Amino acid sequence: MILRTDLCGWIVLDKPMGMSSNHANSIVKHLLGAKTGHAGTLDPLATGVLPIAVGSATRLIPYLVQSAKTYLATLQWGEKRDTDDSTGLVTHTSLKTPTQEEIAHVLPSFLGNIIQYPPQFSALKIRGKRACDRIRRGEDVALAPRTVHINALTLVSHKENVRQTTLRVTCGKGTYIRSLARDLGYALQTFAHIIALRRERVGLFSETHAIPLEKFRAMGHSAESCVVQPESALDDILVTLSVQNCLQKGQILENYAEQGTHLVRLVCASTGSLLGLAGAKDGQWRCVWKS
């Protein structure tokens, strides 16, 4: 298959339940006939915003995954599952259901930098193979803890009669909402797992930008009209630097030492048009994407 090189930007999908992020990415790749890559895995159980980079915009994926993400998560109290969501087997049970007041009291302790153990059933790789695949083959898996950041955590609803609570979570890269549910259960002296999860936002991309996958597939050849500009996902983390001439990918930017950002928009000094994006590497700023 010869891939198109004239498309560059993002497709923002509304991923349906039951489909893997890789499968959704493959559908976009096949339909557009271009190189693609998704910016952040969504569990098959989860729905919502899945940005997929097209063409040379795939070089920008490492920058988008640094952006904050917002999720709407529904927890079921009283059961621990081996996957930390409703797809797994029940391993422990508890009769305790926390009250709304108890939940609200413990939420602040999960804000900021926290230590998380990823779910054992995850796509994290151990010696080149996914943890979930190793577990299914009967192997013992031990995943190292990691530091993640929770920006905001709010209680949306609590239904004590069905033992369910819905939370809205805004978090940084690498955060597992399944792990958060599990750890909230422990903190409240019970068990919990995720029964519904929706990603509402990735950086500047929200649900209003997301195209339902089936609608995208039905567009056929006209689907390329949905590709949005490569820098559109990154405007909230970009600063602008005017340069005199077009840069080549990898070229060093002289005399630039801006702090507090990890990506810079390069525009033409005379016309203001976008020339590319630059990122810091080994103490130097280089052009990482050329328009």
Q: What is the pLDDT of residues 73-95, one digit of tens each?
A: 999 999 999 999 999 999 999 99
Q: Are 276 and 264 in contact (CB under 8 A)?
A: no
Q: What are phi and psi of 182, to 5 degrees?
A: -60, -45
- Residues carrying an active site annotation: 43
Ordered by where they begin, the domains of the chain are: 9-67+204-233 (3.30.2350.10), 69-198 (3.30.2350.10), 236-290 (2.30.130)
Give the per-residue pLDDT at 276. 77
Q: Distance (Å, rounded) from C-alpha 14 to C-alpha 216?
A: 10
Say what the pLDDT of residue 64 is: 85
Q: What's the gap between Cα 132 and its chain centre?
A: 19
Burial class (CB in 10 A: 0-12, 13-18, 19+), 50: buried
Q: What is the DSSP letter of 104?
A: H
Residue 201: which of 233, 226, 175, 178 has the closest Cα? 233
79 is written with which tokens?
A: 């059961």
Task: Look up residue 41 and give its two tokens.
Answer: 């895995």
Share of the chain above pLDDT 90, in %: 58
For residue 205, the model assigns a pLDDT of 93
Residue numbers of the chain with a pLDDT score lower than 70: 1, 121-142, 235-248, 250, 254-262
pLDDT for 59 equals 84
Q: What is the dihedral of CA 8, 9, 10, 11, to 10 degrees?
A: -50
